[in-house]
Structure 1
Amino acid sequence: MAESSSSTATAPKPKSDTEIEEMLDRMLTRLALCDDSKLEPLLSKLLPLTISSLSSSSIAVRNKVLEILSHVNKRVKLQSDIGLPLTELWKLYSESGAAPMIRNFCIVYIEMAFQRVDAKVKEDLAPDLLLNISRLPIQHQEIILRVVVKVIGECHSGQIGDEVAAKYKKVNNSQDRELFIEFCLHTMLYQRISQSGGFPPGLSVAQVNRVTGKQQLQSNELRLRKLGILNVIQAMELDPELVYPLYIAASVDCEEPVVKRGEELLKKKASGADLDDLNLIKRLFLLFNGTVGVESADSESRVSPGSHALKAKLMSIFCRSIAAANSFPSTLQCIFGCVYGSEMFIY
């Protein structure tokens, strides 16, 4: 009987808040005494463990966690060569039982970690971030989408390997996929804002902030992201109706390489799109008209009409679509916009 009981594995007893606080205090001391040259391997274990301690409701424990994280921030903020445990942080974030506070801190360090890892690690992990993204809080969605698109620009502006392409194809949940494609479309529509102000045609203020994180993107960086997006979207082998607006937007971009690639994909991959698909036509009319004629749209969410080049391209499409001709009041708004200008919409 004794032998039987001794062979039965017993679960480790969870630490009390006092024990956790003492452990964190020792970790802080160890962190403070650690040289910068040895900081990265220490953080690989210390950072996930520290953040996971936020599951405790103890104020003392949480204060100790914040003290450690504050120390980490001061040490690594200006030293981009010090890596952070990206894979471990993402695993912690992805755990089904992770508390909101744990996820909130994880996402901050995940974004920071992506800036410090090798290209191979980035491109392998980026597609995984899109899985179940539609279930995440909106703020986290935006951070992850910006991270993924940044990686796409850095790693796939020239081409995308088969292994990574296969990972992007696994983003097959319709909500996840549409969220990603919408963000890619907004990135494609985005143009650098001049010093005189305003914001890019075809987007709202909120969408611009979502794409940029409220930071102006450099021309070269933006071009690489757009080329990378086109390569990834092509590799995902999506329905032509889903990617048609994206390729249309690319074909009228201000950067010649993007235009060339957009036109190529429009002919090769989207020429068979059903122009009488109601959902597609609705999305195209949104690109043309924006939401200027929608009274309920607030100023930050109001989407401006597309650029003149985009409108010209869209008009040639509408002329070939019965569904577009029968779309009321979008068709009427489109006609009035062409004749009188974007501000003369019928309500």
Structure 2
Amino acid sequence: MTTPAVPNQQDELLLVERVFLRIGSAATDEALEEELLKFLAPVILKLASPHEPVRKKVMELLIHVNRRVKDHESIQLPVEALLAQYQNPSATAFVTNFSIIYIRMGYPRLDLNKQIELLPSMLNSMEGKPSQHQDRSYSAAVKFKLSVGERYMY
């Protein structure tokens, strides 16, 4: 039986730096959204790297992403890919924690139909997860229900 190969630190760093460059050079919200939809979930997976410099570079990239998307609620995030990552039982704690952060950030940005479509998956994904994740996700579900109620109340 062979053991899985440990990724090369230089290769992983180069990959993360290339993604950082692409995200960092996105000149418009639309271009940034396009890059995030492609690369945010895979970058978060790099938090499981065995190499500290790779994880550190990913954290730098995520800080940059947070700064760029925080006040731009029109920028969509890859919620479906992040949900799949979050539900993966072999994902590390770092990967699940950062996946839920971006799920919580991205879910309210989705249009109403997409929120409705993903709500069951989002709620089912909480089974067996830490209570703080469950509390946050149920809070998002309640906010969603309240926003739907407000839209149809008048």
TM-score, scaled relative to structure 1: 0.40
Secondary structure in 2 matching 1:84: coil
Q: Distance in 2 between matches of 1:67 and 1:135?
A: 30
Deviation for aligned residue 1:66: 0.6
Secondary structure in 2 matching 1:60: helix
Q: Pick the aligned partner of 1:27 from 19, 26, 42.
A: 19
Instruction: Tell me the amino acid that sits aligned with residue 16 of structure 1.
Output: N
> What percentage of aligned pairs have identical amino acids?
31
Q: Structure 2: 5+ residue runs without aligned partners?
A: none
TM-score, scaled relative to structure 2: 0.88
Deviation for aligned residue 1:134: 3.7
Higher-RCO chain (CA-CA 8 Å, sequence separation at least 6):
2
Q: Pick the aligned partner of 2:9 from 11, 17, 32.
A: 17
CA contact (8 A) 2:87 2:125 kept: no
Which structure is larger by alpha-carbon Rg, 1 or 2?
A: 1
Counterpart position of 2:73:
80
CA contact (8 A) 1:83 1:116 kept: yes
Aligned counterparts, 1:35-54, within 5 A: 35-36=27-28, 37-54=30-47
Deviation for aligned residue 1:32: 1.5
CA contact (8 A) 2:86 2:125 kept: no
Provide the aligned length of Structure 1 versus Structure 2. Answer: 148
1:50-69 CA deviation, whole Å, 9 max, x = no partner? 10001112110111001110
Q: Structure 1: 5+ residue runs without aligned partners?
A: 1-12, 158-223, 229-347
Deviation for aligned residue 1:96: 1.5
Distance change (3 Å), C-alpha of 1:132 and 1:51: closer
Secondary structure in 2 matching 1:135: coil
Deviation for aligned residue 1:129: 1.7
Q: Distance in 2 between matches of 1:27 and 1:110?
A: 20
Aligned counterparts, 1:229-248, within 5 A: none
Q: Distance in 2 between matches of 1:147 and 1:14?
A: 37
Secondary structure in 1 matching 2:73: coil
Instruction: Tell me the amino acid that sits aligned with residue 8 of structure 2.
Output: S
1:208-252 CA deviation, whole Å, 9 max, x = no partner? xxxxxxxxxxxxxxxx5xx99xxxxxxxxxxxxxxxxxxxxxxxx
Distance change (3 Å), C-alpha of 1:61 and 1:39: same
Deviation for aligned residue 1:147: 1.0
Secondary structure in 2 matching 1:115: helix
Counterpart position of 1:151:
144
Q: Pick the aligned partner of 2:113 from 105, 120, 142.
A: 120
Deviation for aligned residue 1:71: 0.8
RMSD in angstroms over aligned alpha carbons? 2.0
Aligned counterparts, 1:258-273, within 5 A: none
- 4+ runs of 1 displaced by more than 4 Å? none
Q: Distance in 1 between matches of 2:139 and 2:132?
A: 11
Deviation for aligned residue 1:94: 0.8
1:265-306 CA deviation, whole Å, 9 max, x = no partner? xxxxxxxxxxxxxxxxxxxxxxxxxxxxxxxxxxxxxxxxxx
Q: Distance in 1 between matches of 2:120 and 2:43?
A: 27
Q: Distance in 1 between matches of 2:128 and 2:37?
A: 28
CA contact (8 A) 1:92 1:98 kept: yes
Instruction: Tell me the amino acid that sits aligned with residue 41 of structure 2.
Output: P
